[in-house]
Amino acid sequence: MNADDARRLLRLWDRQQAAYVAHREARFEAMLAVLELHAGDAPTVLDLACGPGAIADRVLAALPKATAIAVDYDPILLAIARGALADRAEVHDLDLVAAGWERRLGTDRVDAVLSSTALHWLSPAQLLDVYTAAGRLLPPGGILLNADHLRFDDRSPTLRDVSARHDARTQQAGLAAGALRYDAWYDEALLVPDLAALAPERERRFADRPPQPPAPLDFHLAALRAAGFSEVGTVWQYLDDYVVFARR
Ligand SMILES: C[S@@+](CC[C@H](N)C(=O)[O-])C[C@H]1O[C@@H](n2cnc3c(N)ncnc32)[C@H](O)[C@@H]1O
């Protein structure tokens, strides 16, 4: 697809996602600050479940000497990422649930693995596998940053309620300001004939991927330790939205 359409859809995607993730840009800024301060200005970064390339695009804008590799399994989002990132990043069509995906990246080492609003699609067992696979790509000292809503569970009913009501308010404000809903964004993308042609394949790939029960923060931290990371913690939080940090 042409770069102009791809960049337009990436911008619309960013507005759409910002209606579901309050302070999404602040979250990215925290990730980029940790990335640069820890890994310098020319890291090789893997954007895991990249969608249309939101993280890779920001990494390359902030750190022009960085190398970006992006992975996703949605053929429509992959086509947009390829168009929007053009020759600035390698984009790979890989299913993170399939064992050995990390061996099909074309490299066996990256300095950082970054992900946002994506790994909640994985079951707890799959999440542990993905953290373990990501760890294999990282040398000692390499870092993983995962930004996502990590929902409060029964132990924190008040925070769960406040977070849910804050989400509703964020969505209301975003939609009122003109952001597309998630489904409406896909409808907009499908107006591009090249992308419409990919819709049946997208349907087929995600037909058997039901939403997963939410994994709380302590599960992520324990899974990262079990996956061999030596230092784990959080570098950003807003209600139930976190950036989880791990260093090999
Ligand atoms: C809400 S999007 C987030 C995209 C981007 N990181 C962002 O923050 O804008 C979630 C992404 O996870 C991807 N995803 C879900 N399951 C996946 C899997 N098994 N393998 C690869 N990508 C997957 C989806 O295709 C989608 O692009």
CB 54 near ligand 1, within 6 Å: yes
Query: Pick from 237, 35, 233, 232: which is nearest to 150 by CA?
Result: 237
pLDDT at 1: 85
Closest ligand 1 atom number to CA of residue 17 = 9
- The DSSP string of 47-92 is EET-TTTHHHHHHHHH-TT-EEEEEES-HHHHHHHHHHHGGGEEEE
* Residue 62, token pair as written in the block: 């902030």
Ligand 1: which of 9, 23, 72 to mutate, judged by most atoms within 8 Å of the beta carbon?
72
Per-residue confidence (pLDDT) for residue 21, from 0 to 100: 98
* Residuewise pLDDT in 10s, the chain (248 residues): 899 999 999 999 999 999 999 999 999 999 999 999 999 999 999 999 999 999 999 999 999 999 999 999 999 999 999 999 998 999 999 999 999 999 999 999 999 999 999 999 999 999 999 999 999 999 999 999 999 999 999 999 999 999 999 999 999 999 999 999 999 999 999 999 999 999 999 999 999 888 898 899 999 999 999 999 999 999 999 999 999 999 99
- What pLDDT score was predicted for residue 26? 98
Whether residue 48 contacts residue 69, with contact meaning beta carbons closer than 8 Å, is answered with no
Residue 206 is predicted with a pLDDT of: 95
In the numeric block, the tokens 């419409």 are attached to 196
Nearest to 48 by CA among 71, 67, 78: 71
Q: Are 146 and 244 in contact (CB under 8 A)?
A: yes
**24 CA: nearest ligand 1 atom:** 8
Q: What pLDDT was estimated at residue 84?
A: 97
What's the confidence (pLDDT) of residue 102?
Answer: 98
106 burial level (CB within 10 Å; 0-12, 13-18, 19+): exposed
Backbone angles phi, psi at 112, to 5 degrees: -150, 145
Angle at which helices 75-85 and 182-189 cross, to 10°: 70
Look up residue 193 and give its amino acid: P
Q: Give the domains, in start order, of the chain with CATH numbers.
A: 3-247 (3.40.50.150)
Say how many Å lie between the CA of residue 73 and the centre of ligand 1: 7
Ligand 1: centre distance to CA 50 (Å): 6
Contact 69, 105 (CB under 8 A): yes
Positive/negative CA dihedral, 108, 110, 111, 113: negative
Q: Is there a contact between 76 and 198 (Cβ–Cβ < 8 Å)?
A: yes
